[in-house]
Structure 1
Amino acid sequence: MTLPTKLLLAATMLLASAGGAQADVQLLQPFGTPGGTINAPWHLAGLPHQKQPFTRFSVVELDGRRALRVEADGAYGNLVHPLRADGAGLMLSWSWRVDEFVAASDLTTKRGDDSAVKVCVFFEMPMSNLPFVERQLLRMARAASDEPLPAATVCYVWDRTLPAGTELDNAFTHRLRYVVLRSGAPSRARWQPERRDVAADFLKLFGHESTQVPPIVGIAVGADADNTHGHSVAHVADLVLAP
Structure 2
Amino acid sequence: MIFIAACALTTRAQAVFSQSNTATAPASMVTPPPLAPFAAESSPGLNPAWRLSGLPGNRVALTQFEPGLVQGESALRIRTQQSYGVLTHSWRGTAPADLAWRWQLVQGLAQADIRTKNADDAALKVCVMFDQPLHDIPFVQRVSLSLARAASGQALPSATLCYLWDSRYPAGTRGTNPYSARVRYIVLNGVETTPGQWVDQRRRLADDFASLFGDESAVMPPVIAIAAGADSDNSGGDSLAYLARLRWVD
TM-score by length of 1: 0.92
Q: What is the aligned-residue RMSD (CA, Å)?
A: 1.9
Q: Which residue of 1 aligns with 2:118?
A: 111
How many angstroms does 1:199 deviate by?
Answer: 1.1
CA distance in structure 2 between the partners assigned to 1:16 and 1:154 by the alignment: 16
Percent identity, aligned pairs only? 39
- Secondary structure of the structure 2 residue equivalent to 1:133: helix
SS in 2 for 1:31: coil
Question: Does residue 18 of the first structure (1) align with residue 21 of the second (2)?
Answer: yes
8 Å Cα contact 1:104-1:228 kept in structure 2? yes
Q: Distance in 2 between matches of 1:10 and 1:218?
A: 15
Indicate whether 1:82 and 2:90 are aligned.
yes
Q: Give the superposition deviation at 1:187.
A: 4.4
CA distance in 2, matches of 1:11, 1:113: 15
Q: Give the counterpart letter for 2:107 in structure 1.
A: E
- TM superposition shift of 1:33: 5.2
Deviations 1:59-92 (A, max 9, x none): 02011110001111111110000110214x4210
Q: Would you say the 8 A contact 1:26–1:241 is kept in 2?
A: no
Distance (Å, rounded) in 2 between the aligned partners of 1:157 and 1:187:
15
Unaligned runs of 5+ in 1: none
CA distance in 2, matches of 1:20, 1:38: 22
2:37 corresponds to 1:39: no
| Counterpart Cα distance in 1 of 2:104 and 2:76 | 11
Q: Which moved more, 1:178-187 or 1:40-49?
A: 178-187
Contact kept in structure 1, 2:105 and 2:195, CA below 8 Å: no
Indicate conservation of the 8 Å contact 1:156/1:180, yes or no. Answer: yes
- 1:151 is aligned, of 148, 153, 158, to 158
Aligned partners of 1:236 and 1:66: how far apart in 2?
A: 9
Q: How does 1:88-127 map to 2 (within 5 A)?
A: 89-127=96-134
State the partner residue of 1:190.
197
The Cα offsets for residues 186-226 of structure 1, whole Å up to 9 and x where unpaired, read as 44501000000111110110000000110000000010101
7, 10, 33: which one aligns with 2:9: 7
In the alignment, the residues of structure 2 paired with residue 169 and residue 67 of structure 1 have an alpha-carbon distance, to the nearest angstrom, of: 29
Q: Distance in 1 between matches of 2:65 and 2:172?
A: 27
Show CA shifts across 1:120-173 (max 9, x none). Answer: 000100111111111111111100111111111110001102111111111121
Q: 1:162 is matched by which residue type in structure 2? A: Y
Amino acid at match of 1:19: T
The residue that corresponds to 1:138 in the other structure is 145
Match among 66, 80, 95 for residue 72 of structure 1: 80
Contact 1:70/1:235, CA 8 A, preserved across alignment: yes
Question: Equivalents in 2 of 1:234, 1:46: separation in Å?
Answer: 18
Residues paired across the two proteins, number: 241
Aligned-partner SS, 1:18: coil
Amino acid at match of 2:20: S
Distance 2:48 2:16 in 1: 15
Question: What is the SS of the residue equivalent to 2:21?
Answer: helix
User: What is the rounded CA distance, in whole Å, between the counterparts of 1:55 and 1:11 in structure 2?
Assistant: 16
- Within 2, Cα distance between the matches of 1:185 and 1:56? 26
TM (norm. structure 2) is: 0.90
CA distance in 1, matches of 2:236, 2:5: 20
SS for the counterpart of 2:56 is coil
Q: Is the 8 A contact 1:10 1:149 kept in 2?
A: no
1:30 is matched with: 37
Tell me the SS of whatever aligns to 1:49.
helix
User: How far, CA to CA, are the matches of 1:228 and 1:189 in structure 2?
Assistant: 22
Question: What's the counterpart of residue 214 of structure 1?
Answer: 221
